[in-house]
Amino acid sequence: MNIIEYKKIVDKHTKKDKKDRNYVKAFMSGGLLGFISQLIFIIFTSVFKFSEHSVSSYISLSIIGIASFLTALGIFDKIILKARSGLIIPTTGFAHSVTSSAIDYKKEGFINGIGSNVFHLAGSVILYSIVASFILAIVRMVILA
């Protein structure tokens, strides 16, 4: 059996991913996240009387807290399997990765476990976002100077 025949057999038995359905799921779950964020905005501005300018920080903190809490309960993983990238790409995905790392290493203690591994998955996101923002700030300075 050569490589081409082998690839044909593998392709025949590999489960095909339904991309169109995944796009719709990601769009709908991302839209639902936006809807929930808007509800939090309305609650903070009307019930708690926060100014519209300060509410964005509270919305981010609320979404991060909800995602972390659901991750700690083991519910967020099940939601992600259904929602796909609509929830894993935004802030909720970052909160999920940090919380998952903390939960995975809690047996090893606060310093060696949680402290040294909490950004295990999210560290690359932090690193490359800082590098990208630095480069973009330099580009902006050059263009506007």
Q: Where are the domains of the chain?
A: 3-90, 105-145
What pLDDT does 43 receive?
93
Between 58-62, 71-75, 85-89, the lowest mean confidence (pLDDT) is in 85-89
Angstrom CA distances, 103 to 6, 50, 78, 85, 93, stand at 41, 33, 16, 22, 15
**Which position has the token pair 């169109």?**
20
What pLDDT does 69 receive?
93
Establish how many alpha carbons lie within 13 A of residue 103's alpha carbon, considering only the half-sphere containing its beta carbon. Answer: 13
pLDDT above 80 for 27: yes
What pLDDT does 105 receive?
74
Considering the chain, what is the average pLDDT of its residues? 85
